[in-house]
């Protein structure tokens, strides 16, 4: 019999590669072999596929089946190849149309009863298929809305393997599946029964591009927690939040318990503009890989991640022995990574953020594969001044010896601190500040966001001929180029700080970026010496 083939997608991070799934039926002893560098989960597809086909009424041939996943040098992992393997085997046996199977990309994991389980990573898989030139993809019915976000792609959603086989021209008798007590048929909504052949969901291709909707559910895409006007008695902190949001700068909050560090960090998200199309797509693909629902639309708001201080390096960055999953830092791409009680994190976990903060990319190496994720996020650290939290607090006694205080804050390494643009000291408000709070005008989140969007638009216009869109992304070599260099009188204080060892060369560049953000907020064509001085002040720490 001739070899039948179809296609599936092997994901490596958020990037995918089309894999040709070939099946051959030979006149030898019965058997089922999968070759082409599969991992353990994919190797177990033999039993899942055989039992799923048998239990759904379209049993595989009893001759020897050989399935090859090509290219053989590409590592393949996971159970999302099940549907492609099963349909290639059925096509090789002549049970369904080999021509129909060949033109469709198949993604989905099979249950033993023949139903298809919704899979993680369907959005990046569908996007990779579209970019590789495919025009039709078949996925589990539960993933249709997600796959349909990729326009220009016909999406076929099926509930069962039998339903998929019928869609490809197979002629199978009516199948009734009994529920667990053996009495009642499972409804057609589960993919069984006489109407299962007509139960598939087909979404026709639309215009090229991406369908953007109100993506996101509670955990990562929640609405901003409160309004900026809730912040009382910390005007410098509010202004620093706006500066951080306007330029995409990293922020550190240092203060005693009850000073409002977490409250301030929670309100930063409301100041950030909506994601552009490229960032929205990357954030949505990562969310899909992480197994979170997209609720019918791409992610449009910057994601927020706040891992617990017991998180490991793999939980923070991402990892896995075979299937590499995104960690908290990758899930925070184009958004905010908030580390509350930062000194309580393991130093190695904190230092694992240094490379993503510098390059904007998270790269995870394993023996046979290297996966990359977007890693451009705003890092927000919050810390107490000492373990007991009372150091420097008026009318409170600190019980921590100096060596313990130094060791506590020293858990945040110097190289990581050097990558923080704004160091903000936050104090507790006094009773008098609380009493007169309503008499002092306070900026709202809506007003602050308008200022942020105006500043970002100015930065975008200035950087339109470059690959960068925010000031935090601009490299120091570009800022110090003769065409862009600020005059010496403007940066004199910054030069003196570098000569005296008060800042590093990395800190020098970060102060320049911060100066440009302050100029954009001040509607100035370029930074003045006041902007540079203020940026240096923010860099070295502000007490509000």
Cα–Cα distance measured from residue 237 to residue 233, given in angstroms and rounded to the nearest whole number: 9
The pLDDT of residue 13 is: 83
DSSP 369-396: -EEEEE---EEEEEE-SSSSS-TT-TT-
- Answer whether 318's CB lies under 8 Å from 324's CB: yes
Q: What is the pLDDT along the chain (544 residues), one digit of tens a residue?
A: 578 899 999 988 888 899 999 999 988 778 888 888 777 777 788 889 999 999 988 888 888 899 999 998 887 887 889 999 999 999 998 899 999 999 999 999 999 999 999 988 999 999 999 999 999 999 999 999 999 988 889 999 999 999 999 999 888 764 544 444 444 444 333 433 333 344 566 665 644 334 443 333 334 444 446 888 888 888 889 999 999 999 999 999 999 998 889 999 999 999 999 999 889 999 999 998 888 877 668 889 999 999 999 999 999 998 876 678 899 999 999 999 999 999 999 999 999 999 999 999 998 887 777 888 999 999 999 999 999 988 888 878 888 999 999 999 999 999 999 999 999 999 888 788 777 777 778 889 999 999 999 999 999 999 999 999 999 999 999 999 998 899 999 999 999 999 998 899 999 999 999 999 999 999 999 999 999 999 999 998 644 3
**Residue 222 phi, psi (nearest 5):** -70, 155
User: Which residues are 21's β-sheet partners?
Assistant: 6, 69
Cα–Cα distance measured from residue 188 to residue 198, given in angstroms and rounded to the nearest whole number: 10
How remote is the C-alpha of 503 from its chain's centroid? 33
Please give the CATH number for the structural domain made up of 218-456: 3.40.50.300
The pLDDT tens digits for 220-251 are 444 446 888 888 888 889 999 999 999 999 99
Dihedral sign for Cα atoms in the order 49, 50, 52, 57: positive
The pLDDT of residue 203 is: 62
- Answer whether 4-203 and 218-456 agree in fold: no
What DSSP character marks residue 429?
P
**Residue 498 phi, psi (nearest 5):** -70, -45
Torsion of CA 330, 336, 337, 343, to 10 degrees: 160
With vertex at residue 162, the alpha carbon angle to CA 161 and CA 164, rounded to the nearest 5 degrees, is: 65
For the 4-203 domain, the top CATH level (class) is alpha beta
**Residue 74 phi, psi (nearest 5):** -85, 120
By three-state DSSP, how is residue 534 classified?
Answer: helix
The pLDDT of residue 204 is: 56
With vertex at residue 19, the alpha carbon angle to CA 16 and CA 24, rounded to the nearest 5 degrees, is: 165
Domain edges within the chain = 4-203, 218-456, 464-544
User: Which residues touch 358 (CB under 8 Å, ≥6 apart)?
Assistant: 419
Cα–Cα distance measured from residue 518 to residue 538, given in angstroms and rounded to the nearest whole number: 11
The pLDDT of residue 365 is: 84
Structure tokens at 364: 């995870």
What DSSP character marks residue 41?
H
What DSSP character marks residue 326?
E
- Answer whether 163's CB lies under 8 Å from 116's CB: no
**Residue 524 phi, psi (nearest 5):** -100, 145
Structure tokens at 252: 């550190």
Q: Tell which residue, 33, 40, 130, has the closest CA to residue 85.
A: 33
What DSSP character marks residue 188?
G
Cα–Cα distance measured from residue 137 to residue 133, given in angstroms and rounded to the nearest whole number: 11
């Amino acid at each position: 019999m001739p070899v039948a083939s179809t296609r599936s997608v092997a994901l490596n991070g958020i990037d995918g590669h089309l894999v040709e799934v070939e099946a051959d039926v030979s006149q030898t002893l019965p058997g089922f072999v999968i070759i082409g560098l599969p991992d353990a989960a994919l190797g177990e597809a033999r039993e899942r596929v055989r039992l799923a086909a048998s239990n759904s009424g379209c049993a595989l041939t009893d001759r020897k089946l050989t399935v090859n996943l090509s290219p053989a040098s590409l590592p393949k992992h996971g159970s999302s190849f099940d549907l492609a393997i099963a349909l290639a085997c059925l096509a090789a046996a002549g049970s369904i149309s080999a021509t129909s199977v060949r033109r469709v990309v198949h993604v989905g994991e099979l249950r033993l009863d023949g139903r298809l389980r919704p899979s993680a990573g369907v959005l990046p898989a569908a996007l990779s298929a579209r970019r590789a030139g495919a025009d039709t993809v078949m996925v589990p019915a539960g993933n249709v809305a997600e796959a349909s976000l990729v326009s220009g792609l016909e999406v076929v959603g099926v509930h069962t393997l039998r339903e998929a086989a019928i869609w490809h021209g197979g002629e199978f008798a009516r199948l009734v599946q009994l529920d667990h007590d053996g009495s009642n048929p499972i409804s057609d909504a589960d993919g069984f029964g006489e109407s299962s052949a007509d139960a598939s969901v087909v979404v026709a291709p639309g215009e090229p591009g991406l369908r953007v909707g109100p993506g996101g559910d509670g955990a990562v895409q929640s609405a901003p927690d409160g309004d900026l006007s809730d912040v009382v008695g910390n005007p410098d902190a509010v202004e620093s939040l706006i500066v951080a949001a306007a330029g995409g700068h990293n922020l550190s909050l240092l203060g005693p318990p009850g000073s409002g560090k977490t409250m301030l960090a929670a309100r930063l998200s409301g100041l950030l503009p909506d994601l552009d199309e490229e960032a929205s797509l990357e954030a949505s693909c990562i969310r899909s890989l992480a197994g979170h629902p997209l609720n019918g639309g791409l992610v449009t708001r910057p994601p927020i991640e706040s891992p617990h201080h017991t998180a490991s390096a793999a939980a923070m960055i991402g990892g896995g022995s075979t299937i590499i999953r995104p960690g908290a830092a990758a899930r925070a791409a184009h958004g905010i990574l908030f580390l509350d009680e930062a000194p309580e994190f393991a130093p190695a976990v904190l230092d694992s953020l240094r490379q993503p903060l510098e390059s904007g990319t998270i790269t995870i190496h394993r023996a046979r594969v290297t996966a990359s994720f977007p890693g451009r996020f705003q890092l927000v650290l919050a810390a107490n001044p000492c373990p007991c939290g009372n150091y420097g607090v008026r009318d409170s006694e600190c019980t921590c010896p100096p060596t313990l205080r130094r060791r506590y804050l020293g858990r945040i390494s110097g190289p990581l601190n050097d990558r923080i643009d704004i160091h903000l000291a936050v104090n507790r408000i006094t009773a008098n500040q609380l009493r007169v709070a309503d008499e002092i005008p306070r900026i709202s989140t809506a007003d602050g966001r308008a200022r942020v969007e105006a500043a970002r638009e100015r930065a975008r216009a200035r950087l339109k001929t470059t690959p960068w869109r925010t000031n935090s992304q601009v490299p120091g070599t570009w800022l110090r180029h003769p065409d862009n260099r600020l005059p010496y009188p403007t940066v004199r204080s910054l030069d003196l700080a570098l000569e005296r060892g008060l800042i590093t060369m990395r800190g020098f560049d970060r102060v320049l970026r911060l100066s440009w953000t302050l100029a954009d907020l001040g509607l100035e064509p370029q930074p003045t010496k006041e902007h540079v001085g203020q940026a240096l002040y923010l860099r070295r720490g502000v007490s509000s």
